[in-house]
A and B are shown apart, each in its own frame.
Chain A
Amino acid sequence: MASTDDESTVDPAEALRLIEHERANLERELTPDPRWMFWPWGLTWLIGFGLFFLRWGPDERVLVDLPDWLPTGALTVLLMAAGALSGIKGARSGGSISGPATDRGRMFGFSWSAGFGGLALVFSQFSDVIPGFRLGLLWGGGLVALIGTLFMAGGAVWNDRTTFLLGAWISVVNAAGVLAGPGWHSLIVAVAGGGGLLVAGLIGWLRLR
């Protein structure tokens, strides 16, 4: 606890130090731990798209004969878990603030749901006309493009360069993967995209400490 002799004053240099310290301290307390915001997503991509690559490899090869439901199921469950984790952590740190910042966060959260819901609705209309290998590219490429865009938009909303650059990186990696074709897309997104998310979490955390 701070001293209770509160009318005590400090010299100007000490006052300036105190100001900087309290401002940085509040910022740190209110920013969600970047590890919780990025690492669940990074692991989700690494594992989820890794399984996709093994099941639906390049040139229609099956590297590991996993049941069809396993990669899709694992990716869906992991995505939901990652969304819940980062949502809870983000809400907890934003919950003590009320005003324009919270409204911004809430609107941004809803735009994620709208984007995912909208794409899933469109893509599911093509399940029976597109062969499995191409369908994976449609879903994977489409959702990762959305995520890259939303990270860039998030960087714009919170004026956060790391998040913006991460979004740009994800968008580039995704485009390269889509052009490389089915199978390769999963591998590239798993390693470069998932890896990028893990690195972003680490950088953000080191900066906050």
Chain B
Amino acid sequence: MSDPALPDLDPVIHAQARLRVVSALSQLHEDDRIVFPKLQEILRMTPGNLSVHLRKLEDAGYVEVQKTHRGRTPATLVRLTRRGRLAFDDYVTALRALLRPAKEP
């Protein structure tokens, strides 16, 4: 990415594992949250692995992790924040911009 005309890719999102997490979460409706085990199952990641990446995304303010109770059982709910959604949109726009010149002869 040395070409100054090309946009930089957000390093928080531009790592395969976190890109997958953010992509999946972006498909939820705004304000909807998904339970941790289901997200883990859908992404086919280990709990430890998913936790590590969620923490990095949380530190960046892209993801909100909420510990709560459903009846008596504790539940962890995950959602993409507004900021995370914007960052994801910017990331996708940047990807498209990077691909465009390559398609021209």
Contact = CB atoms under 8 A, between A and B. Distances in A.
Contact of A25 (B18, B24, B96): B24
Contacts of B72: none
Interface stretch (A15-23, A124-132, A164-172): A15-23
From DSSP, what is the main secondary structure of chain A's interface residues? helix
Contacts of A23: 23-24, 26-27
Contacts of A4: 46, 49
Contact of B29 (A2, A9, A16, A101): A101
From DSSP, what is the main secondary structure of chain B's interface residues? helix
Interface in A1-37: 1-4, 6-10, 12-13, 15-16, 18-19, 21-23, 25-27, 29
Given A12-B95, A23-B24, A26-B24, A2 B31 contact: no
Interface of B: 9, 14-20, 23-24, 26-29, 31-35, 37-38, 41-46, 49, 52-53, 70, 77, 79, 92, 95-96, 98-99
Interface of A: 1-4, 6-10, 12-13, 15-16, 18-19, 21-23, 25-27, 29, 96-102
14 contacts: A1-B46, A2-B43, A2-B49, A3-B16, A6-B49, A7-B17, A8-B16, A10-B16, A15-B19, A16-B92, A16-B99, A23-B27, A29-B38, A101-B32
